[in-house]
């Protein structure tokens, strides 16, 4: 599998405001996310713990789902919303927050679009690519989609801002593609269940409006960190420690999210006068990205035969599946 991510990062950017057809593959079917994020990256329990250990708990956000059809696992109603649930407990992912940033994918001028908090808005490269915190979901994308025969974000981008084969250069899934974490195996490992639905009164209302506060986010992050794979069990002591860690987080990412949010115009609005990623993120401690010239040089050095080929680069391009349709892990 080879992908050409330079000037794209379509899987890390909410590019719906600049897409005539407005792709919204996460909102098909009976379980629609409460939030309006695009391509949220669901994290495993161990990844959530890692972000907390690194003081990055303020970069995390939960995703819950409407239960429009009623499911075998039963829904639960909070704040007047029927929520997808596991044994009467609201089900959720924990993902990465998506603030507005000034970005210029697909040869556009700088535009305010929501992106993953770890995306460098200038290079459109991932600030944590290859590091210990780099999510498996990102490392495995779009390989899983190719294995499952479902559309990749590369192809969605090509349909609107490019030509076939321009982004998904080689559609052969990589050998040894890791298996998806779906269904019952995902419970307590990637899909979590909030044990006390009554505590969520008011919280669900704020999540639906995109107005959740740090305490709202921390309560879900804590349950995820304290979950046990294959069960609905939650360790109370670990939960409280994780909640405190999430609330105490004061990272470059969280502070940058606040500044981007305060500076942003509406989605799809021009961002020519916006501050740079260096000013808002690197100056607060964000890791730099190498830029595409360095990536191409490294790729050429590894394999001189590739010298004229499109070089892969640090983004979500090593593989990731569309398992964002709900707690049962359908595919987009």
Q: At its nearest, how many Å lie between ligand SF4 and the CB of residue 138?
A: 3
Nearer to ligand SF4, 99 or 188 (CB): 99
Helix 236-248 to helix 45-53 angle (10° resolution) is 50
CB of 96 to ligand SF4, least distance (A): 6
Supply the minimum distance, in Å, between the C-beta of residue 316 and ligand SF4.
Answer: 4
Residues 6+ apart with CB under 8 A from 322: 25, 26, 144, 145, 150, 151, 331, 332
| Contact footprint for ligand SF4 (CB under 6 A) | 12, 41, 96, 116, 118-119, 126, 128, 135, 138, 315-316
Q: Closest approach of Cβ 18 to ligand SF4, in Å?
A: 18
Considering the complex, what minimum distance in angstroms separates the CB of residue 305 from ligand SF4? 27
77 three-class SS: strand
Task: Return d(Cα 316, Cα 115) in angstroms, integer.
Answer: 12
How many CB atoms are located within 10 Å of the residue 307 CB? Answer: 12
Residue 139 CB, shortest distance to ligand SF4, in Å, is 8
Between 138 and 218, whose beta carbon lies closer to ligand SF4?
138
Residue 144 vs 239, nearer CB to ligand SF4: 144
Residue 175 Rama label (left phi>0; alpha psi -120 to 50; beta): beta
Torsion, Cα of 142, 112, 25, 79 (10° steps): 120
**Closest-CA residue to 7 (of 271, 270, 296, 272):** 296
Terminal Cα-to-Cα distance of the chain (whole angstroms): 20
Looking at the Cβ atoms of 12 and 180, the one nearer to ligand SF4 is 12
Looking at beta carbons only, is 67 or 322 nearer to ligand SF4? 322
| Main-chain dihedrals φ then ψ at residue 169, nearest 5 degrees | -70, -40
Task: Give 126 or 328: the residue with its C-beta nearer to ligand SF4.
Answer: 126
Give strand ranges (E) for 136-252: 168-170, 192-193
């Amino acid at each position: 599998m080879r992908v050409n991510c330079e000037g794209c990062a379509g899987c890390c950017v909410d590019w719906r405001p600049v897409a005539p057809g407005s792709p919204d593959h996460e909102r098909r079917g009976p379980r629609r996310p409460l939030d309006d994020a695009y391509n949220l990256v669901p994290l495993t329990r161990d990844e959530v713990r890692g972000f907390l250990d690194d003081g990055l708990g303020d970069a995390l956000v939960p995703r819950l789902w409407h239960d429009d059809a009623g499911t075998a696992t039963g829904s639960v109603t909070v704040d007047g919303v029927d929520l997808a649930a596991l044994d009467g407990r609201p089900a959720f992912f924990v993902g990465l927050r998506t603030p507005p940033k000034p970005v210029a994918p697909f040869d556009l001028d700088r535009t305010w679009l929501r992106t993953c908090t770890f995306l460098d808005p200038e290079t459109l490269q991932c600030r944590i690519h290859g590091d210990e915190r780099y999510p498996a979901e990102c490392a495995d994308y779009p390989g899983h989609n190719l294995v499952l025969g479902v559309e990749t974000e590369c192809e969605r981008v090509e349909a609107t801002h490019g030509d076939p084969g321009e982004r998904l250069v080689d559609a052969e899934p990589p050998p040894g593609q890791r298996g998806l974490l779906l269904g019952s195996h995902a419970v307590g490992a990637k899909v979590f269940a909030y044990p006390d639905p009554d505590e969520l009164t008011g919280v669900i209302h704020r999540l639906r409006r995109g107005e959740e506060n740090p305490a709202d986010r921390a309560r879900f992050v804590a349950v995820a960190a304290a979950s046990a794979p294959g069960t609905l069990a939650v360790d109370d002591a670990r939960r409280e420690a994780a909640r405190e860690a999430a609330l105490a987080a004061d990272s470059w990412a969280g502070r940058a999210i606040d500044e981007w949010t305060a500076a942003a115009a509406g989605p799809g609005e021009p961002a020519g006068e916006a501050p740079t990623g260096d000013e808002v993120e690197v100056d607060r401690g964000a890791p730099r990205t190498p830029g595409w010239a360095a990536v191409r040089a490294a790729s050429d050095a590894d394999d001189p035969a590739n010298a004229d080929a499109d070089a892969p680069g640090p983004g979500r391009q090593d593989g990731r599946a569309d398992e964002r349709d709900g707690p049962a892990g359908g595919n987009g």
